[in-house]
Amino acid sequence: MNTIEDFKAYVAKVEATEGYSKPLAFGLGIRRSKGDKVLDVNFPGINWDTAFGTAALLQDVTGFKGSENGFVTVSKAQLQKAFDNFAAFHGEIEKHPNIVIIQQLLENIAQPSNTYQEIDVVAYFLFDKDQPVADAVEGYFKLQCLSQLHVLPHGLSLEGVFGKLNNIAWTNHGPILPEDLSAERIKATFKGENIIVTHVDKFPYMVNYHVPNGVRIASGSQVRLGAHCAVGTTVMPAGYINFNAGTKGNAMIEGRVSAGVVVGHDSDLGGGVSIMGTLSGGNKNVISIGDKCLLGANSGTGISLGFGCTIAAGVYVTAAAKVWLYDANKQPVDINGKVVEEGQNIVKGAELNGKDKLLFLLDSTNGHLTCRPNPKTIELNEALHVKN
């Protein structure tokens, strides 16, 4: 296939094969394993609803069949065949990220000697984004779909991911099963080396797999793989973003973005902020923070905030909290904005879920949690969110 026309004809023939299905997403991954346990899988470049010609080629070369989510191992010979089938594009290879990845894999693929991990290449194909996670390879693929910004949090199913990922000791020698650490330390010691463990968890740090364009992350340990850090996001040293959570645009993160939480554009989470997540405690409400919101230091919320909301420093708004409502003139009002007697202006926090332009304050004279219209919205410092 030396011409683009030949390549297109080849792709059309593969796609016309009985039973062939175009995947929603796919990618080549480097898998590290110990026996039958997957340690991790790195997908350098995931294709989401694009590059269908490459998808057809990889399915043909690897023999992958069907329309169910799954993966297949890829040999060096199959990588070479895939690269050769792209001959028509070799003159402008820099314009084709998938061909570049195949070339890089070909140049480096080998089973290193005297190492703890076994390494191979897999091709993963996703057809149904809403199916639960079936295995560790799928878990790593979906997590990297999020971190590579192909989908927003909750954009695909991560149900069952905890049960499919292995608990790993993440070290300067790569991922190691915790039960093997002692033996590996002894080996390393007699080689004059040290094994340093950064953490023991099912999730690695995002920055060790992917760094989105236009973000600043002051401490890589504070952002888990599967976090969604949009362009313009700044995560300060005490900030934290869990998997299946993150930002939609410019954001200053100095507090905690728990699993499931989505933070809107131009919002600021001050130091010590904590947003209630969905992983533990029985909370099923998916929390979102709207655009241009400000959460002051040591504040938090268990309800969603709409556009332009502010929670004052030290104030925590829960769904069950009693909130005293006032209008812009400090008159007590009901949930519909009608002026009422003091005491008739009390609602639960849940009734304010997702509403715009709210200002939550703590009345220092009586300890009441109050809410009134927010007179202004924040403006982030543009110099801190340069998109480079």
pLDDT digits (tens, 9 = 90+) for 320-336: 999 999 999 999 999 99
Domain boundary pick from 107, 125, 149: 149
Report the pLDDT value the prediction gives residue 383, as an integer from 0 to 100. 63
Q: Which residues are catalytic?
A: 254
Same-domain status, 144 and 208: no
What predicted TM-score, i.e. pTM, was given to this entire model? Answer: 0.93
Res 110: pLDDT: 81
Q: Quickly tell me which residue has 């703890």 as its tokens.
A: 116
Q: Of 86, 60, 81, give the one whose Cα is nearest residue 72.
A: 60
Q: Which amino acid is at 89?
A: F
> In the listed set 149, 164, 190, which residue is the last one of a domain according to the structure?
149
Same domain, residue pair 131 and 209: no
Which residues of the chain are modeled with pLDDT < 50? 280-282
Q: Which residues contact 87 (CB under 8 A, 6 or more apart)?
A: 1, 2
DSSP state of 228: B
Domain co-membership, 294 together with 384: yes
CA dihedral 305, 310, 314, 319 (to 10 degrees): -30
Q: Domain total for the chain?
A: 2
Same domain, 351 and 255: yes
CATH for 35: 3.30.70.2010
Structural domain of 217: 204-388
Residue 188 belongs to a domain: no
The confidence score (pLDDT) of residue 385 equals: 59
Do 229 and 144 share a structural domain? no
What is the predicted pLDDT for the residue at 72? 97
Do strands 346-348 and 322-325 pair parallel, antiparallel, or not at all (unpaired)? antiparallel
Under a CB-based contact definition with an 8 Å cutoff, are residues 193 and 214 in contact? no
- Final residue of a structural domain among 123, 149, 175: 149
DSSP state of 285: P
Pull the structure tokens for residue 109. Answer: 């693929």
Eight-class DSSP state of 249:
S
Q: Which of 79-88's residues contact partners 24+ apart within 8 Å by CB, and which partners?
A: 79/105, 79/106, 79/109, 79/121, 80/106, 82/57, 82/58, 85/1, 85/7, 85/10, 85/57, 85/61, 86/7, 86/57, 87/1, 87/2, 88/1, 88/2, 88/3, 88/4, 88/6, 88/7
Give a yes or no: residue 176 inside a domain: no
Please state, in angstroms and rounded to a whole number, the distance separating the CA atoms of residues 213 and 229: 9
- Domain assignment present for residue 145? The answer is yes
Residue 312 lies in a domain: yes
59, 128: one domain = yes
The 10s digit of each residue's pLDDT in 81-124 is: 999 999 999 999 999 999 999 999 999 988 777 688 999 999 99
Contact 220, 186 (CB under 8 A): no
Query: What sign has the CA pseudo-torsion 104, 110, 111, 116?
Result: negative
Residue with tokens 């992983």: 279
